[in-house]
Amino acid sequence: MVHIRKNVTIIVVASALLLATGAMFVIQQQKQALARHTSPDGQSSSSPTRCNCVIFRADDIQDYWKQEPQVALLDIFISKSVPLSVGLVMNHYGSDRLIVDKVREGGPLFEYDIHGWDHVDYTTLSAQQQEESISQAQAKIESVMGKDAKVFFAPYNNFDTNTLIAMKLGGLKIISASKADTSPYAPANDTLGILHMPQSINYGYANSTSERHAWRTVAEMKSVVEADIEVRGWAVVTIHPQDFAKYDDGEENGGKMLNVADEQRVDTFKTFIDQLRAEGKTLTTFEGAVRIMDGDDVHPDLH
């Protein structure tokens, strides 16, 4: 009887040690995973050495609107074999064969993303309207392009909690807005499981003095990209068809956008891409950056 009790005691102690060892191993793994995504000040961030990514986000792609600048924008990435995250305004996309075929021409280089059902400020919509809008956009993008989207570019870079809930319900995993977004940035998730990846800089913008279109220099864009990669491991450069169009400078037209591609602006942006490549930056899409940050060939949430 004494020997049996001793054996039972030994087994119980051994089992407890195994459980404790296993728990310590799991805890250590969790600590290592957290360390990979946490900066010294405790804020979640991606490691620059693990991603070093630049994501190009193209807004406002749609049917029958300034086709030549749209095609010029898309051709930059096709001709240079550079990945592009393409933001489609889904209520105004799918009928223009020129634009749809050009987007399809991008093949696996292009990631199909939603830039709204309509190009409206989503914070002006009710929760139900936002849910319906994103649901409609998802259904149409799958119908037209053959796959659903995982990324949402907030029109006017505005969103609220209802937008995030609608995204969650609609199967969208990543939101890109502006740096006014105060949520933790990817690779951290927010409380709904959404990844936040705001833009770093626009190529084109409205000049505050004349309210006419203006452009960043290559040096300006590179400076912001470097700063964001240093802090969070990735950067997002937003472009629009407007950035690659010519403008009528006549006073009577007030700098009206023309349906003509501006080759000078195209060439400047190609130079920017070339310099990023030469410096060893990884040019990718939103989904591609998330896969790199996770160290996965396929992110479980982005199948």
> What tens digit of pLDDT does each residue of 236-290 get?
999 999 999 999 876 555 678 999 999 999 999 999 999 999 999 999 999 999 9
pLDDT at 28: 37
> Is residue 226 pLDDT above 50, yes or no?
yes
Choice between 301 and 105, residue whose per-residue pLDDT is larger: 105
The encoded tokens of residue 100 equal 């749809």
Query: What is the CB neighbour count within 10 angstroms for residue 97?
Result: 9
Domain limits of the chain?
Answer: 1-36, 53-294
- In 3D space, the residue among 40, 85, 95, 39 whose CA is nearest the CA of residue 65 turns out to be 95
153-164 mean pLDDT: 98
Asked whether 166 and 127 are in contact (CB, 8 A), the reply is yes
Model confidence at 23, in pLDDT bands (50, 70, 90)?
very low
> Is residue 124 pLDDT above 80, yes or no?
yes
pTM > 0.85: no
| The residue type at 210 | S
> Is residue 11 pLDDT above 60, yes or no?
no
Structurally, at CATH architecture level, domain 53-294 sits in Alpha-Beta Barrel (3.20)
Asked whether 145 and 168 are in contact (CB, 8 A), the reply is no
| The residue type at 102 | K
190-197 mean pLDDT: 97
CA 116 to mean position of chain CA atoms: 14
The encoded tokens of residue 79 equal 């001709």
What is the chain's mean pLDDT, rounded? 84
